[in-house]
Structure 1
Amino acid sequence: MTRTRTLGLIGSGLIGTSLARLAVAAGMEVVLSNSRGPDSLAELVETVGGRARAATPEEAARAGDLVVVTIPLRAHRHLPVEALRGKTVLDTMNYYPERDGRMEELDSNALTTSGLVQRHLVGARLVKAFNNIGSHQLLTLARPAGAADRSALPLAGDDEAAKREAADLLDALGYDAVDEGTLAESWRSEPGTPVYTKPYLGEPPAGLGAEEYFPWYLSTPGQCVPAARVRELTAQAVRGRAGGVLPAGAAR
């Protein structure tokens, strides 16, 4: 089994930061990037550790054996198409109309979010992953292979070899993988579906107000969601109107 040696990250927000930490802990090299330039990442690189370095999005795309794109969906057209051509690209992006603006192809369910991104990234092998778990739970729920309390995450894609690469990465970072199908079926883990964030969070404290929810979301360690449960939840999903609602206090 070939392991990812270098993980490229386009996007350095909450999910990107958690993935960088997990990858460094797994012994990988990490190349971080964002839209503001490498200088803006100096503090993050220092806290993540010596295997991490900062670069431009194009440099991160070219350096990565696998590349994760974790930016607001509205910015997907800025992803470097040529640098990502031929790469396996993991897409964490979700559609939040209040942040991203309305997109008719998503509102009409003509495309999934990953279908939209794949259309832009000509020649890349896109896999939907890491889009249905909170950034803090992504860190705290990671477990070694074989652990009794190991959680699973769904993934979707049209290229079987790319999905195997993505599953290998999940395994290295501390998760089992559940194949939920093609990119056209990736809606099964999008906002509003049974497997989206809530199973990993557990029940919020009684009486928690809307303004208090997001700080709790960012700090609760969460609970194990094994592969069998992920399969059940993705199978239960019924497709509704695309798009989620950001909790009060989340970045727009």
Structure 2
Amino acid sequence: MSSRIQTLGILGAGRVGKAVGALAARAGIDVAIAGSADAVDAVVAADAVVLAVPLGRYRSLPAERLAGCVVVDAMNYWWELDGARPDLDDPTTSTSETVAAFLPGARVVKAFNHLSGYALEELARRAGNPERIAVAIAGDDGAAVESVAGLVDALGFDPVVTGPLAEGMRFEPGTELFGADADAQEARAMVERFWTTQRGRVVARARAAR
């Protein structure tokens, strides 16, 4: 059974972490932000934890402390920042699945990764506003996905649930939805036609060759 997220921990004090934190505070959610994995007490005690650190540092996450937590993966792989990382550049799996494998027991949900910092800072809108844009969500735990969908809505975006965590591949960097200020209908269409895009074909070929 899902529950409303009333407290939100954010691990990472960069642009994305600060933007999500500001939106949550505006929505009346208690927020705790830690700039590093060394200061996580208040963060891991929250109803949900947003991961907003560079993806290349995911192995520094406090895996044992995050067991049982609803964990929102907002991270992306950037070779310029993370370096060449075959474990994060594997087209046969999503990066969120890699993160989830490192966090056994955590209820990982992918969300917020495909919006730009500007969109998070400036484009949140009340429900029903015709200019409201979407946030795609993927996760294996139904109750966690429902809770994160409620969080997305509370923060000012339309949640678009795409399916299990593996479907997060459809809105990673290099996909049509990544960086797009799309409404819910447009976002669903982009996700659905993933396999017809260049990135989709690359993933399909890699998976077929396994």
TM-score by length of 1: 0.74
Amino acid at match of 2:32: V
Query: By how many angstroms is 1:240 displaced?
Result: 5.5
1:95/1:179 CA distance change after superposition, 3 Å: same
Query: Do 1:155 and 1:163's aligned partners in 2 also have CA atoms closer than 8 Å?
Result: yes
Q: Report the counterpart of residue 30 of structure 1 in structure 2.
A: 31
1:89 to 71, 88, 95: 71
Query: By how many angstroms is 1:26 displaced?
Result: 0.5
Larger Rg over CA atoms? 1
Structure 1 Cα separation of the partners of residues 90 and 125 of structure 2: 38
**Percent pairwise identity:** 41
Amino acid at match of 2:186: R
Give 1:160-171 correspondences, 5 Å limit: 160-171=142-153
Structure 2 Cα separation of the partners of residues 169 and 29 of structure 1: 12
1:227 to 184, 194, 208: 184
Amino acid at match of 1:148: P
Give 1:127-166 correspondences, 5 Å limit: 127-166=109-148
1:108/1:30 CA distance change after superposition, 3 Å: closer
1:23/1:229 CA distance change after superposition, 3 Å: same
Structure 2 Cα separation of the partners of residues 187 and 67 of structure 1: 21
1:159/1:2 CA distance change after superposition, 3 Å: closer
Q: Report the counterpart of residue 206 of structure 2 in structure 1.
A: none
RMSD (Å), alpha carbons:
1.8
Give 1:155-234 correspondences, 5 Å limit: 155-197=137-179, 199-200=180-181, 225-234=182-191
Query: By how many angstroms is 1:24 displaced?
Result: 0.7
Query: Do 1:67 and 1:87's aligned partners in 2 also have CA atoms closer than 8 Å?
Result: yes
2:95 to 113, 117, 127: 113
SS at match of 1:104: coil
Query: Do 2:73 and 2:96's aligned partners in 1 also have CA atoms closer than 8 Å?
Result: yes
Amino acid at match of 2:18: T
Query: Do 2:136 and 2:187's aligned partners in 1 also have CA atoms closer than 8 Å?
Result: yes
Structure 2 Cα separation of the partners of residues 89 and 156 of structure 1: 12
Q: Report the counterpart of residue 15 of structure 1 in structure 2.
A: 16
TM-score by length of 2: 0.88
Structure 2 Cα separation of the partners of residues 36 and 3 of structure 1: 25
Q: Report the counterpart of residue 101 of structure 1 in structure 2.
A: 83
Q: Report the counterpart of residue 51 of structure 2 in structure 1.
A: 69
Amino acid at match of 1:62: V
Query: Do 1:6 and 1:65's aligned partners in 2 also have CA atoms closer than 8 Å?
Result: yes
Query: Do 1:60 and 1:67's aligned partners in 2 also have CA atoms closer than 8 Å?
Result: no
CA deviation map 1:126-154 (0-9, x unaligned): 00000111112112111112222221110
Query: Do 2:11 and 2:37's aligned partners in 1 also have CA atoms closer than 8 Å?
Result: no
Structure 1 Cα separation of the partners of residues 149 and 171 of structure 2: 16
Structure 1 Cα separation of the partners of residues 130 and 163 of structure 2: 26
Amino acid at match of 2:20: L
